[in-house]
Amino acid sequence: MLLIHVTTAQGATHDVTAQTGQTLLEAVLASGVDGLLGECGGCCSCATCHCMIDDAQLALLPAPDSSEAQMLDFVATERMPGSRLACQIKLQAQHQGLKLTLPERQF
């Protein structure tokens, strides 16, 4: 089991449990924390699963592939250095303690 730390746009913090093999989107949706939508179901075509990964932890993730990089141009709020699409992040053991912030809105 992994523990992920989620901060909402309003500043509330939540510890979210996740399983390796889940996507970050699946883990946050299952936790009930509001802020991600995931309207396309994770096929990288909606950009409503935008989140910002803590800068210090970006190196834990592989770089966005070309479809994610393109979709990141369509996020509803400002794109930040740590901006990623949560549906494209497959959780693995090294993501224990991952910290992310959710944007104000997804559309």
Cα–Cα–Cα angle for 91, 96, 45, rounded to 5 degrees: 30
- Out of 42, 54, 57, 90, the only residue in the binding site for ligand FES (CB under 6 A) is 42
Name the one range near ligand FES by CB under 6 A: 11-19, 40-48, 52-60, 92-100: 40-48
| Interface with ligand FES, residue 24, by CB under 6 A | no
Name the one range near ligand FES by CB under 6 A: 8-16, 37-45, 52-60, 94-102: 37-45
CA distance 72 to 20: 24
Is 95 within 8 Å of 5 (Cβ atoms)?
no
- Out of 18, 28, 29, 47, the only residue in the binding site for ligand FES (CB under 6 A) is 47
Q: Closer to ligand FES by CB, 1 or 72: give it.
A: 72
Structure letter (DSSP) for residue 23: B
Using left for φ > 0, alpha for ψ between -120 and 50, and beta otherwise, residue 34 falls in: beta
- Out of 2, 46, 51, 102, the only residue in the binding site for ligand FES (CB under 6 A) is 46
- Of 69, 97, 98, the C-alpha closest to 85 is 69
Question: Closest separation between CB of residue 34 and ligand FES, Å?
Answer: 15
